[in-house]
Amino acid sequence: MVGKTARFLVLDGYPEDHRGPLADNGGTLAGDLYAQMLKECESGCEVDIVFPADADCRLPSGTALDGYHGICWTGSSLTIHDEADPRVTRQIAFAKAAYEAQVPMFGSCWAAQMAVTAAGGKCAKNPKGREFGLARKISLNDAGRAHPMFAGKKLVFDGFTSHEDEVSELPEGAVLLAGNDFTRVQAVDVTHKGGSFWAVQYHPEYDFNEVASLCRWRREGLTKQGNFASLEDADRFISKMQALHEHPAASHLRWQLGVDDDVLTDSIKQQEVRNWIKVKIHPRLND
């Protein structure tokens, strides 16, 4: 029986000048999305959201950091291998401190890159461009099949995604768990200085409304990359995604977009989060 209320710290990795366009295009702020997901997965939990890319953000340390049972990282529009950007280096420094404090971490996209970078690994631009919309056929390797993050998960599945960077070199203490043809590292478990970070390159917190909003924001770049034949083609795709969000049982839209319950059913797409809470957070509540 869990005796305490779980307290989570969510780091919204987006800089302030990008949070506006995200909201302007109909999206939800990344920190709010994560808070919603955590509250669905762990009823009654408390969630604090901070914005570590902002110069005036005061990140917890010492005993304040020890007051959290878990730390979650959202995606970000920043480039993690930009070593001259203080918005990036500030977050890497915090991840290193969180490893040393041994507060369990979990996160999506930027988080996978953060997990390996703070532990000594490397990231780079994906030469294939931006993986967008859905990461298809994410496959668990042998380590992933045996890993508690994926208990109850299919061996091959799809997930929401949007990223240009990828993990290029794993650090010591990292275990590759899953990948697909577009991105070699789709899930990783990093143990560093006694700390733990489970991370996925895809987004269990997303839904089709969020992907549609990102597509509105990035439609020109995606069209240039070749995802769409024209801006009008992009707009038609956005309309279908928005419609499927509003009517998830619409069989014609599911067929046209090639999707199923992997991304339309919360209990399936968020299984990794629930597993992390069960394995890493619940034992801390009983300490």
To the nearest whole number, what is the mean pLDDT of the chain?
95
Which pLDDT band, with edges at 50, 70 and 90, does 22 fall under? confident
Range(s) of the chain covered by CATH 3.40.50.880: 7-206+266-285
Looking at the chain, the number of H-run helices and the number of E-run strands are: 13, 11
Please, are residues 264 and 48 in contact by the beta-carbon 8 Å criterion? no
What is the pLDDT, as a whole number, of residue 2?
44
Q: What is the mean pLDDT of residues 233-240?
A: 96
Contacts of 69 (CB under 8 A, 6+ apart): 4, 6, 7, 8, 103, 104, 281, 284, 285
Q: What is the pTM (predicted TM-score) of this model?
A: 0.95
Phi and psi at residue 248, to the nearest 5°? -65, -15
Please, are residues 164 and 125 in contact by the beta-carbon 8 Å criterion? yes
Q: Tell me the CATH number of domain 7-206+266-285, given options 3.40.449.10, 3.40.50.10860, 3.40.50.880, 3.40.1440.10.
A: 3.40.50.880
Q: What is the pLDDT of residues 118-168, one digit of tens each?
A: 999 999 999 999 999 999 999 999 999 999 999 999 999 999 999 999 999
What is the pLDDT, as a whole number, of residue 83?
85
Q: What is the pLDDT of residues 115-132, one digit of tens each?
A: 999 999 999 999 999 999
Residue 246 Cα distances to 30, 114, 204, 243, 267, angstroms: 20, 33, 18, 5, 18
What is the pLDDT, as a whole number, of residue 67?
93
Q: What is the mean pLDDT of residues 4-25?
A: 92
What is the pLDDT, as a whole number, of residue 3?
64
Nearest Cα to 34, choosing from 13, 18, 55? Answer: 13
What is the pLDDT, as a whole number, of residue 1?
35
DSSP 69: S
Q: What is the pLDDT of residues 242-272, one digit of tens each?
A: 999 999 999 999 999 999 999 999 999 999 9
What is the pLDDT, as a whole number, of residue 23?
85
Q: What is the pLDDT of residues 209-225, one digit of tens each?
A: 999 999 999 999 999 99
Q: What is the pLDDT of residues 40-91, one digit of tens each?
A: 999 999 999 999 999 999 999 888 899 999 999 999 999 999 989 999 999 9
Please, are residues 190 and 177 in contact by the beta-carbon 8 Å criterion? no
